[in-house]
Amino acid sequence: MRASPALAAPLAAALALLAPAAARADPPAESWQPPVLTPERYNEDWSSLADPAGRTGHWTEAFKYIPLDGTGSAYLTTGGELRLRDETYHANLWGQASAPDNGYLWARLLPYADLHVGQLRAFVQPVLGYAVGVRPAPSAIDQTRADLLQAFADVDVPLGGQGGGQGGASLRLRAGREMVGLGTERLVGTRYGPNLPLAFDGGRAIFHTGAFTLNAFYLLPVEAGPNSFDDHSSPTRRLWGAYATQAFGAGGVDLYYLGYRNSAASFQQGRGRELRHTLGLRWFGTTTGRAAGWHWNMEGMAQFGRFADSTIGAWSIASEVGHRFAGARLHPDFTLRANIASGDRSASDHRLGTFNALFPKGKYFGELSPVGPYNLVNLQPVLALDCGRGVGASLSGGAYWRQSRGDGVYDVPGHLLRAGNAAAARFVGTQEEATLAWRATAELTLSASFSLFQAGRFLAETGAAKTITMTGIEANFRM
């Protein structure tokens, strides 16, 4: 059946009213807390359950550590995710005829099995992803039917000491298909927000010693087919590089190089073969002690290479600074994000200045993200509140400008939405968003959001400029 746009907004309002009321009810009697459940799932470590003293009796523990021998060196971890998400748009893409209003339902099921035998490991995660009501037809982020999301094997090789423990080092060699998220996923992300996450085929070598980790990889993004078991490696795109992280105290520094090739790249400047190199530096952390509460995440990126018969010279600066008032009511956390991604000055010269975000996280600037981090200047204040009893809320705003008047506006995957060479205005528009989430149990989260994007002068100069509204309702069960 098709999700009803007429019902979506009332349902979201009902959920927003009911969640706090339900949260006032007595919480579950158990205080069990699992490891952090990551989108990749293979990063979760349940080995502590090998010790009976480390078990609490929570019902999922029977699935998280299944011993296969008497020594504990062989065990199986299982789990999964079921997510249902309804999204309803009005004036999609500001009323463009090519993007009709939509009310659709996303459904995905992600079971997995993680086998450990000594230093060897095999991880398998199929995906069932369906979309109902998407017009004119489901895209590669909406539906894949039944397919293989992740399937890889790796071996952990100790290099002195106890395999990456204190005073030791280890090298993990991995090959197959996997989801990969680097840093805060500004350039390489899992695309977890849309219905179909992004996976890569290829290999990784992960060196770890003390507080230092180095990833080296060669990867091919996986493209979803319209039918079951027809997802395949991209024939046109490649990603390789090295990503190093040095942790210290309550923060750390990332230093990385990413190489990227696309034989069918497209920008406002034209189409052609793209070979792009990215150098990046990220600094992140939180304060502790008497100055506790501050947190930050700063990242600078420079890009060079070739596009068709042109050189590439692009850059981006992303920043996030915030403070959590732990002693105040509702523990407010106020964060200010500021981002700049370069654009191309002229489509007629032989230099491409458009920054390429490569494989960024889905829903980049929020639940509604019609524009992506290409030729963009963005300011985004965010206020997050902890309402207690598992309920959290947030309010955010955002303003967007073109960085260069000679370039257009792109979506999150990097497709050109509006050419900009015939428009003088920089101002793209503003976005406001409210979200509410209730963690009803350790496994079940219910959430709702309402977003709108008001078109600015640039959009009015280049075509349809209505206000986009989007309502989202989601139920996510993960164990």
pLDDT in tens, 103-121: 999 999 999 999 999 999 9
Amino acid, res. 368: L
pLDDT in tens, 390-431: 999 999 999 999 999 999 999 999 999 999 988 999 999 999
pLDDT in tens, 378-395: 999 999 999 999 999 999
Q: Report yes or no: 88 and 103 within 8 Å, Cβ to Cβ.
A: yes
pLDDT in tens, 191-222: 999 999 999 999 999 999 999 999 999 999 99
Helix and strand tally (H, E) in the chain? 3, 25
Domains of the chain: 5-137+148-159+168-175+297-478 (2.40.160)
In the block, which residue shows the tokens 């009902």? 14
Q: What percent of the chain has pLDDT over 90?
A: 80
- Closest by alpha carbon to 371, among 300, 454, 449? 454
Structure confidence at residue 167 (pLDDT): 53
Secondary structure (DSSP) of 252-284: EEEEEEEEEEEEEEEETTEEEEEEEEEEEEEEE
Q: How long, in residues, is the chain? A: 479
**How does 364-393 read in b/e, with b if 16+ C-beta sit within 10 Å?**
bbbbbbbbbbbbbbbebebebbbbebbbbb
Query: Does pTM top 0.85 for this prediction?
Result: yes
